[in-house]
Amino acid sequence: MSLRDWRPDTPPLPDHLEQLVKDDDPEWFARELAIAAAPPWWFWRFVLRRFSWLVSLVGRVEVTGSVPEELRNGPLLLAANHIGDFDPFVVAVALHRVGVMPRIMATGGIISAPVAGPLLERTGAIRVERGTELARHAVRVTEVALVHGGHVVAYPEGRVGLAADGWPERGRTGMARMALGMGVPVIPVSQWGAHEVLQYGNDWGKLRTLARAVVRRPALKVHVGPPVLLDDLQMGRVGDANRARYRIAAAITRGLVPLRAAERDRPAFVDPTRPTTAVSAFPGGVVPEDVP
């Protein structure tokens, strides 16, 4: 068996989920449903407990905020701003420190990679095939993970943020609709600093920024905020999904303000390979007081 074909053992698919799998579904769909329904993989727990220090080789991880214990014992949607290719590692380490076992949504290209992809999938990562008809499978896998008490990390922006000032974009309504439909708490996760570790562009510059981070060790800051207020909103009511989306973006932005207090108008680290084709939800990090 080649390395490309290797993958860790997958838990069996529970009988009650077999009906979700159709003949024309991709081969990985049943596997990810089984992983989503199972408890967190023991090896993933071991890695987060014993090897989180590896992230500290490229920066100083600083975590503030917390998740109440009563919420940690149930399903969670953790909404994070996406600032670079390295930030999933920082977010995973930070959330483990506050008692959360993260299942991170990731692009299909990453999960399809040899060796690293199968390992990532087995940790409970959820494959997102953006812009294809397979994207709906991510919703089903996420729902199964949440029904079984999973802690799912998602990026409402749907990609690395491209606003020129570095503040979060308003994002899409997918997470908002899921939160309203399932009644799952949404925890905002604000982060700053990980964008300095790996540049946006996929070329040799990634190694250059990585080496620079090892020498400079930038602060990798993560703040876990209180649950977003969504109790007054309803799934299916006109405008509520959009309101929820803005509230989630507002909560992430508010948590980000103290993390980049010295970089309010413009990031100190400017990545020339990152396009600046988007607009932030709240330019300058200024959230109107009338947004809950």
Separation CA 256–CA 287 (nearest Å): 11
pLDDT tens-digit readout, 75-120: 999 999 999 999 999 999 999 999 999 999 988 778 888 888 889 9
Tell me what percent of the residues of the chain surpass a pLDDT of 70.
98
Closest by Cα among 52, 108, 72, 74 to 222:
52
What does DSSP assign to residue 59? Answer: S
Whether 5 has a pLDDT exceeding 70, the answer reads: no
Please determine, looking at this structure, whether the domain spanning 15-283 carries the CATH number 3.40.50. no
Q: Domain extents for the chain?
A: 15-283
3-state secondary structure of 80: strand
In which residue are the tokens 């930038």 written?
218
CB 140 within 8 A of CB 20: yes
Residue 129 pLDDT class (50, 70, 90 cuts):
confident
Separation CA 183–CA 2 (nearest Å): 43
pLDDT at position 93 is 97
**Averaged pLDDT, 16-43:** 94
pLDDT at position 36 is 97
Whether 2 has a pLDDT exceeding 70, the answer reads: no
Separation CA 251–CA 37 (nearest Å): 29
**Averaged pLDDT, 16-24:** 93
**Averaged pLDDT, 151-179:** 94
Separation CA 29–CA 230 (nearest Å): 31
Contacts of the segment 17-20: beta carbons below 8 A, 24+ positions apart? 17/144, 20/140, 20/144
What does residue 163 show for φ and ψ, rounded to 5 degrees? -70, 140
